[in-house]
Amino acid sequence: MVVFLIRRLLAGILLVILVASATYIMLNFTGSDVARNIVGETATPEQAMAKAAELGLDRPIGVRYFDWLGTTFTGNLGKSWFNSVPVSTTLLTALPVTLSIILGALILSAMVSVVLGSIAAVRAGWLDKSIQVGAVLADSIPGFLVALILAMVVAVNLGWLPATGFVPFQRSVVEWLRSITLPSIALAFGATAATTQQLRGSMLDVLRLDFVRTLRSRGLSDRRVIFKHVLRNAAPPALTVLSLQFIGLVGGAVIVEKVFGLRGIGSIATSAAVQGDAPVVLGVVIVMVVIVVAVNLIADLAYGWLNPKVRAE
Amino acid sequence: MKRKLILAGALALALSVSACGGGGTAAAGKTGGTLNLAVSQALKSWDLAEAGNGQDQEYYQPVFDSLFRLDSKGAPTANLATSWEYDKALTTLTLKLRTDVKFTDGTPLDAEAVKANLMHTKAGKGEAAALVKAISDVQAPDSSTVVVKLSTPTPSLLRSLGNVAGMIASPKSLANPQSPVGSGPYTLDISSTTAGTEYVYAVNPNYWNKDAFPFDKVDIKTISDRTALTNALLSGQLDGSSVAADRIDAVKAGGLKTDTVSPGVVEGLYIWDRKGTIVPALADARVRQALNYAFDTASIVKIAKKGLGTPTSQHFTSDSGAFVPGLDQTYKYDPAKAKALLAEAGYANGFDVVMPDISSLFPEMQAAMVEQLGNIGIRVKLDKIPFDQFMPSILAGKYAMSYFKTGGTDPWITIQLIVAKQGTWNPLHFEDPHANDLIAQISRSTGDEQTKAYQELNTYLVKQAWNAPWDVVKDTYASSKKVEVTMNPFYNAPPLYNFKPAAN
Amino acid sequence: MTIPPIDGIVAAPAGGNIARKRHVAVQVLQDPVAICSLAILLILILVSVLAPFLTDQDPLKSSLAQTLAPMGQEHLLGADGVGRDVVARLLYGGQTSLAAALVAVGVAFAVGLPAGLLGGYYRGRADAILAWASNFMMAVPAIIVLLVVMAAVSQSTYVAMVVLGLIVSPSVYRLVRASVVSVREELFVDAARVSGLSDARIIRRHILPVVQAPSIIQAAQIFGVSIGIQAGIAFLGLGSPNEASWGAMLNDAFANIYVAPLLLLWPGLIICLTTASLALLANSLRDILGGSRKRTQRHLERKRDAESSSAREASTPAPADYAPVAEDVLLVVENLKVNYPVDGGRRTVVDGVSLTVSRGQVLGLVGESGSGKSQTAFSLLGLLPPEARVSAERLHFDGVELNSLGRGAMNRLRGKRIAYVPQEPMSNLDPAFSIGSQLAEPLRQHLKISAKEARTRLLGLLERVGINDPARVYDSYPHQVSGGMAQRVLIAGAISCDPDLLIADEPTTALDVTVQAEILDLIRSLQAERNMGVILVTHDFGVVADLCDRVAVMHTGKIVEAAEVRDLFANPQDPYTRMLLSSTLEGATPRPPLNRKPGVPNSTRPNPALPNRAQTA
């Protein structure tokens, strides 16, 4: 177990270095004149050159790269080129936003897909068919459309929930919940569809197994058999999908954050990428990879916890 | 990017600082409540030396008081400074300060504090810094007197000091400005603030002019997405925010009030290559005049701009002393005349020109431009570039002409931007001896003499077809029924003291 | 625009369905959903390609005067924010959008397919490196890479799609690799290798066809995702608005969303339509290509079962198992029929079975697989799938008509008074729960006792069924015990509530020969001890001889002969019984119950591992 964890951690670190390095190199070959963008259009060429020198952009890329690798390795992500705010500060305010809505979306989609997936798996016929088709259709509606409609109908027209903004959890739990509800629903939409399909499939697989009949032969109610035994056995593959969804949700968050005016990782990444704010982009990439590695690790551990065979080893 | 452009204008605009009657207007309606505003651009820095001059001012206003306010004509009025005076050479400015003002950290706001601030801001790299670059030295002969020395006469200085460049922070906070310490009507409530997202300001109980700021709390949100911003306005989350042209109808339908203001920015076809290095035809004034005749500016304003602009042929707006009313009649839409002029210059078959593709930033403008240039035989080839390359590539002198917008409410700033040889928006550094003479004349003069020189230069530029302006841009500010707002064209957004609770 | 975890959704179908592959086209044409999806896609492609003939408007020509022109004669769906014709842009836009999506699919396969073939076929180091690279790619935050590329390198949709193709290529790689690995060891591939075919040829002839089916599904999905991503890129304002593409139309629509919301409808609709069609098509294909995820598969198996059983419709009235009815008769079944729906009708798998079981009596139900004996047993337990239709003149259990019982009442009876011992011990325990917890669950429900009490009781029972270390087994998970042990556990579970009737479905078939006898002994001793009635379903006359009082022989859903065990062995009446007896028994004589020494295996039994035993269940 410990060996497993250490190996995974080492692999994760390697991954972070590689991905960040690849991003670094890509960012440095885009050929855009970042220094000019930073000093602004009214600055003189001399100011732009001074800025470039200040940021070290005038040095050869090899030197810059190892320099960057060294400081990054010490945990220092540097400062934004554009507003001089430490990248870690920016990320720390943005992460709670994105993680809140992603977590909300995961919980929502897990709950809904358990209900829908179970119904679809157990009930043959039109109900199953319509859930399946519904899932496919829900999945094919572009995410921004769902988000836009939710924002306009629920927030603007009905005024039930805020249209924009994020309230940190520690400031007010109720307001936090209100602020993440719509974004989470918008984000959960596609994820739910995929997870429902997956859960239906794996539940059908499990329903075919002999022990289900044996459990029923002992007089356990269908409800109990399905929600305790079948679901539990169908959970691991669905969990894998859910953990993969997490990565997908990060992508979805970019759009949802835009629609709901949230300053999360997604909108930070968008604006930094557009500006060419390399330290911020790199910071986002590093944090994202770390999170992905962590989520995969958690999923593996949960997988083991759900599966006694793995757990015993 | 789009915002940056506006900023370029706003910058000019901000240079135009002046104040409106130091705290004269008392709160009309009830007091109290929270004023909810939104700004589309994130705050760059609390360090005034790094300050942008555009939307940053909205974040600064609650905390930092400025030396002047600007009135609706752009004239400076008393605020922290109660009186001011230039010497004959226009290179020494003497200010008298209020003596009853303290920063929220207890430090008195005196001449030394002002000196420290001006030197600090000037030494910075921000846009505000660029506006006060001409300051060579600041002296503090006594605690209420500040003497500002200029290396060269700068007609726009007073307006600049009425905005961000004239904002005064506690000298103690200048070194490490992680959070703002000023003497303004509010203080930043750090525990309720989420950097980059939401800034909450609480009343400063010791402010000297409390009556001018009737709200208990000011909440400024950063919302960069236009749709999110519109939704926030429509759902009642906000009391005020600038809105994009295409959102105005929606905002009005949602029961919000809208006001427009012209911050002195002029848009149109900017001709960078007046030397003719890239496209030789452009060196000929007749060709440039043809370009002016080619555009149906009235239609462009009506359709592409949805009415938010005033057609013009000159770079100076009606607020400005350099404005010459009759000049707007110089080039009336006349494609036939344009073609004739081209033929006269030897380009009967038109010519080819490469321009940056700006369809992701200004699709309507590009569409109108390509269509109407095509009508007089000028064939536009669009060069696809990543959109963060738009301005750098223009600055690098890559294009002979392109759509653009810039300008300032102070004519001096406009001149420095687009006419001066080293002007930022004169990227190919074109120089005209007659124009240079006129600029020198302006800087040396004041009053009517200066106005006359401004107008002479303006007339010359229009006749030379320096560029092909289309219209003076109008910006729109939306506000809820809960507040009353008075616009002021010399600020990016209405200054905070222009917000009042609605009467009932 | 989430990038869905594609390979999580497409379960790699097991390879090998080559024979069925030819029918795919036919099957697709029988599925209405697939036909509709295909038709929509074909129309979209056609309309895009034929755009120049369908409209004379130029999709790129803007006109100030036509800005946001309403729907009308000149512009059927109006004009966009810069006066371009919406119809023309929709049509021409299809060319860009579909071609760009094709680029993404192409890149994903150009990278993923060779990598998958290489890794799956050669394994070894190449495989390890590829697997690692794929994991690496999967952890890259795709959306951010796309953002950086779009912002800094190029806004062209095609460039974005090339990057997307690279990003999703690991999913292709994993899918292909899984398929290849699954056929690589198949005999025909081996044979090809032995016969000296080159690797390239083997891959082309034998491997590629297997990869084809799942690849088509995957391609459809990537295609749909690409269209969705294009829309997302446009929403973020990163697309190139100058191309005529659906994404660019969205770009324009977002800018005018409050002024002309209809502009958003058309590209939105067409994008939804395209991605939904692709997803539904992929779904149908997956069903057709026999993914494991299909409910119908279960029907198919039963159908086969049913077909074989009803192949010969006997017209003679079935002899009923009317034993001399004892005083304490437990179960009376009269004219039991079970049938299943098949195309255009129903197939009968149990056809008029009648039998009786008395308290303390052991009835053997004998027949080959597919004879309907298991179906008979399950219908008594009420455990047939919902699509089965059961009818019987009488289905009396201890005076209660089972047919008239509701679900709840049946659940109260099941496990408590009628118990069931399955055939395959390992697959009949829930692997996710400890043995103790799954045994205790019904016990506590039926007897309303505490967990502690249930544990004490079960430990005793486990000991009774011959488990040496009951506490350890109680806390173990199914995978930690042997097959014989698991069967004892299941027997303990079955008898835990002191049932009156035990239905054992081939309880020893799946076990080692040495264990079989022990289990039979256990059943016999428990039966005697508790005076249970037992129905023993088996194909094995050895077991019948060992355990049963009476025996009923089933064939094609009917009871062909029923008699006391001695009589049947001594004097089989039905030719089918005789045939069965001669083929399996070779002169074994019935033994009287309870006088046999344990542990002597019957060496004449057929191989317990019947090839299709799973299907008899």
pLDDT in tens, B34-73: 999 999 888 878 988 888 767 788 999 999 999 999 998 8
Same domain flag for B231 and B98: yes
Same domain flag for B407 and B492: no
pLDDT band at B96 (very low <50, low <70, confident <90, very high): very high
Question: Which chain B residue lies closest to A42 (C-alpha atoms)?
Answer: B424
Please answer yes or no on whether C258 and B364 come within 8 Å at the CB atom.
no
**What is the C-alpha separation between C323 and C358, in angstroms, rounded?**
9
Using the 3D structure, point to which of C264, C291, C318 is the last residue of a domain: C291
DSSP structure class, residue C402: G
Q: What is the 3-state secondary structure (H, E, C) of C345-384?
A: EEEEEEEEEEEEEECCCEEEEECCCCCCHHHHHHHHHCCC
pLDDT the model gives residue B362: 83
Which is nearest to B309 in space by CA: B493, B476, B461? B476
Whether residue B382 lies within 8 A of chain C, CB to CB, comes out as yes
Give A291-297's long-range contacts (Cβ < 8 A, gap of 24+): A291/A250, A292/A246, A292/A247, A292/A250, A292/C139, A292/C141, A293/A8, A293/A11, A293/A12, A293/A15, A293/A16, A293/C139, A294/A12, A295/A243, A295/A246, A295/A247, A296/A243, A296/C139, A297/A5, A297/A8, A297/A12
**What is the C-alpha separation between C594 and C527, in angstroms, rounded?**
11
C439 in Cβ contact with C458 (< 8 Å): yes
Same domain flag for B217 and B272: no
Q: Cα separations (Å) of A205 from A126, B356, B464, C297, C613? A: 20, 58, 81, 11, 18
Residue among C2, C276, C428 minimizing CB distance to A143: C2
Using the 3D structure, point to which of C239, C264, C291 is the last residue of a domain: C291
Same domain flag for C256 and C374: no
Same domain flag for B482 and B459: no
Same domain flag for B336 and B461: yes
In a domain, B14, yes or no: no
Residue among C62, C65, C154 minimizing CB distance to B386: C154
Please answer yes or no on whether B360 and C82 come within 8 Å at the CB atom.
no
Residue among A194, A211, A274 minimizing CB distance to C9: A194
Residue among B11, B194, B232 minimizing CB distance to A93: B194
DSSP structure class, residue C469: -
Please answer yes or no on whether C82 and B387 come within 8 Å at the CB atom.
no
Residue among B4, B7, B235 minimizing CB distance to A156: B235
Average pLDDT over residues B398-404: 93
| CA atoms A102, A105, A107, A113: torsion sign | negative
B160 strand-pairing partners: none
In a domain, C115, yes or no: yes
User: Helix, strand or coil for residue C217?
Assistant: helix
**What is the C-alpha separation between A234 and A117, in angstroms, rounded?**
10
More confident residue, C458 or A237: C458
Distance from CA of B303 to the nearest CA of C (A): 7
C129 in Cβ contact with C306 (< 8 Å): no
pLDDT band at B83 (very low <50, low <70, confident <90, very high): very high
Show Cβ contacts of residue A22 under 8 Å, excluding neighbours closer than 6 positions.
C140
C221 in Cβ contact with C274 (< 8 Å): no
Q: Cα separations (Å) of A103 from A111, A295, C162? A: 12, 12, 31
Same domain flag for C420 and C351: yes
pLDDT band at B386 (very low <50, low <70, confident <90, very high): low
B66 in Cβ contact with B19 (< 8 Å): yes
Same domain flag for C272 and C371: no
Task: Name every chain B residue with its beta carbon within 8 A of the beta carbon of A162.
Answer: 235, 237
In a domain, C614, yes or no: no
Fill in the amino acid letter for C13.
Answer: P
Q: In the predicted model, what is the mean pLDDT of chain B?
A: 87
Rounded to a whole number, what is the largest CA-CA distance in chain B?
72
Same domain flag for B463 and B318: yes
Distance from CA of B235 to the nearest CA of A (A): 4
Residue C120: CATH number of its domain? 1.10.3720.10
Residue C545: CATH number of its domain? 3.40.50.300
pLDDT the model gives residue C609: 35
**What is the C-alpha separation between B23 and C457, in angstroms, rounded?**
89
pLDDT the model gives residue B399: 93
Q: In the predicted model, what is the mean pLDDT of chain C?
A: 78
Please answer yes or no on whether C149 and A269 come within 8 Å at the CB atom.
no
Please answer yes or no on whether C411 and A220 come within 8 Å at the CB atom.
yes
Same domain flag for B235 and B278: no
Same domain flag for C210 and C358: no
Q: Cα separations (Å) of A286 from A68, A132, B161, B271? A: 13, 37, 43, 44
**What is the C-alpha separation between C339 and C388, in angstroms, rounded?**
6
How many CB atoms neighbour CB B166 within 10 A?
A: 33
User: Helix, strand or coil for residue B395?
Assistant: helix
Task: Name every chain C residue with its beta carbon within 8 A of the beta carbon of A18.
Answer: 136
The vertex-A200 CA angle with A194 and A205, nearest 5°, equals 130
Domain count, chain B: 2
Whether residue B308 lies within 8 A of chain C, CB to CB, comes out as no
Domain count, chain C: 2
Question: Which chain B residue lies closest to C147 (C-alpha atoms)?
Answer: B386
Q: Which residue's structure tokens are 């087994």?
A: C473
Whether residue B194 lies within 8 A of chain A, CB to CB, comes out as yes
**What is the C-alpha separation between B7 and B495, in angstroms, rounded?**
17
pLDDT the model gives residue C6: 37
Task: Name every chain B residue with its beta carbon within 8 A of the beta carbon of A47.
Answer: 125
Distance from CA of B202 to the nearest CA of C (A): 35
Same domain flag for C470 and C341: yes
Please answer yes or no on whether C258 and B296 come within 8 Å at the CB atom.
no
Same domain flag for C272 and C334: no
Average pLDDT over residues C292-298: 42
Same domain flag for B235 and B299: no
C71 in Cβ contact with C78 (< 8 Å): yes
* Model pLDDT for residues C149-207, shown as the tens digit of each residue: 877 677 778 888 999 999 889 989 988 888 888 777 776 777 777 777 788 888 887 78
Same domain flag for C215 and C337: no
**What is the C-alpha separation between A181 and A167, in angstroms, rounded?**
11
**What is the C-alpha separation between B432 and B450, in angstroms, rounded?**
20
The pLDDT of residue A9 is above 90: no
User: Helix, strand or coil for residue B236?
Assistant: coil
C151 in Cβ contact with A278 (< 8 Å): no
Please answer yes or no on whether B227 and C82 come within 8 Å at the CB atom.
no
For chain C, the first-to-last Cα distance in angstroms comes to 45
Average pLDDT over residues C566-595: 70
How many CB atoms neighbour CB A93 within 10 A?
A: 18
Task: Name every chain C residue with its beta carbon within 8 A of the beta carbon of A258.
Answer: 235-236
Mutate to test the interface with C, among B227, B360, B365, B370 (most CBs of C within 10 A): B360
Task: Name every chain B residue with its beta carbon within 8 A of the beta carbon of A33.
Answer: 389, 392, 396
Same domain flag for C278 and C334: no
The pLDDT of residue C596 is above 50: no
In a domain, C617, yes or no: no
Residue among A22, A142, A247 minimizing CB distance to C231: A142
Fill in the amino acid letter for B66.
Answer: S
The pLDDT of residue C613 is above 60: no
pLDDT the model gives residue C23: 60
Q: Tell me if the pTM is above 0.95.
A: no
Distance from CA of C11 to the nearest CA of A (A): 9
Same domain flag for C274 and C336: no
Task: Name every chain B residue with its beta carbon within 8 A of the beta carbon of A82.
Answer: 44
pLDDT the model gives residue C520: 84
Same domain flag for B216 and B126: yes
Please answer yes or no on whether C414 and A258 come within 8 Å at the CB atom.
no
pLDDT the model gives residue B175: 83
Average pLDDT over residues B77-98: 93
Distance from CA of C76 to the nearest CA of A (A): 24
Task: Name every chain A residue with its beta carbon within 8 A of the beta carbon of B47.
Answer: 84
Same domain flag for B287 and B217: no
**All partners of chain A with 3 or more CB pairs under 8 angstroms:** B, C
pLDDT the model gives residue B12: 35
DSSP B339-351: HHHHHHTT-TT--
Range of the structural domain that residue B127 is part of: 3-9+22-258+476-501
* Model pLDDT for residues A49-103, shown as the tens digit of each residue: 777 777 777 777 777 788 888 888 777 888 888 777 888 888 988 999 999 999 9
**A residues 104-143 near C, CB within 8 Å?**
124, 128, 132-133, 136-137, 139-143
Range of the structural domain that residue C418 is part of: 329-573
For a pLDDT cut of 90, what percent of chain B falls above it?
56
Please answer yes or no on whether C386 and A220 come within 8 Å at the CB atom.
no
pLDDT the model gives residue B14: 33
The pLDDT of residue C44 is above 70: yes
In a domain, C303, yes or no: no
Residue among A84, A259, A276 minimizing CB distance to B388: A276
**What is the C-alpha separation between B180 and B169, in angstroms, rounded?**
7
Average pLDDT over residues A225-241: 82
Residue among B250, B303, B363 minimizing CB distance to C258: B250
Residue B150: CATH number of its domain? 3.40.190.10
Residue B411: CATH number of its domain? 3.10.105.10
In a domain, B399, yes or no: yes
Question: Which chain A residue lies closest to B10 (C-alpha atoms)?
Answer: A42
User: Helix, strand or coil for residue A144?
Assistant: helix
Question: Which chain B residue lies closest to A152 (C-alpha atoms)?
Answer: B231
Residue among A19, A30, A270 minimizing CB distance to C147: A270
Question: Which chain A residue lies closest to B414 (C-alpha atoms)?
Answer: A42
The pLDDT of residue C312 is above 70: no
pLDDT band at A44 (very low <50, low <70, confident <90, very high): low
More confident residue, C195 or C105: C105
pLDDT the model gives residue C263: 87
Task: Name every chain B residue with its beta carbon within 8 A of the beta carbon of A267.
Answer: 224
For chain B, the first-to-last Cα distance in angstroms comes to 40
In a domain, C197, yes or no: yes
Least confident piece of the model among A59-63, A209-213, C451-455: A59-63
Distance from CA of B389 to the nearest CA of A (A): 7
Average pLDDT over residues B141-145: 94
**What is the C-alpha separation between C356 and A202, in angstroms, rounded?**
40
pLDDT band at B504 (very low <50, low <70, confident <90, very high): low
Mutate to test the interface with A, among C150, C427, C430 (most CBs of A within 10 A): C430
* Model pLDDT for residues C223-281, shown as the tens digit of each residue: 988 888 888 888 887 777 667 888 888 878 877 888 788 888 888 899 989 988 988 88
DSSP structure class, residue B304: I
In a domain, C306, yes or no: no
In a domain, B495, yes or no: yes
Please answer yes or no on whether C381 and A250 come within 8 Å at the CB atom.
no
The pLDDT of residue C105 is above 90: yes
In a domain, C227, yes or no: yes
Which is nearest to C13 in space by CA: C168, C176, C131? C176
In a domain, B17, yes or no: no
Mutate to test the interface with A, among C7, C97, C138, C144 (most CBs of A within 10 A): C144
Average pLDDT over residues B140-158: 92
Please answer yes or no on whether C148 and A27 come within 8 Å at the CB atom.
yes
Task: Name every chain B residue with its beta carbon within 8 A of the beta carbon of C251.
Answer: 360
More confident residue, C371 or B442: B442
Residue among C83, C251, C259 minimizing CB distance to B246: C259
Same domain flag for C348 and C456: yes
Same domain flag for B195 and B301: no
**C residues 217-276 near B, CB within 8 Å?**
237, 239-242, 251-252, 254-259
Residue among B195, B232, B392 minimizing CB distance to A164: B232
* Model pLDDT for residues A136-188, shown as the tens digit of each residue: 888 888 888 888 888 888 888 888 888 888 888 888 889 899 999 999 999 99
Task: Name every chain A residue with its beta carbon within 8 A of the beta carbon of B196.
Answer: 85, 90, 93-94, 263
In a domain, B180, yes or no: yes
Distinct helix (H) and strand (E) counts, chain A: 14, 0
Same domain flag for B215 and B66: yes
Tokens of B116: 């420290």
The pLDDT of residue A29 is above 80: no
Which is nearest to C287 in space by CA: C16, C6, C19, C33? C33
The pLDDT of residue A28 is above 80: no
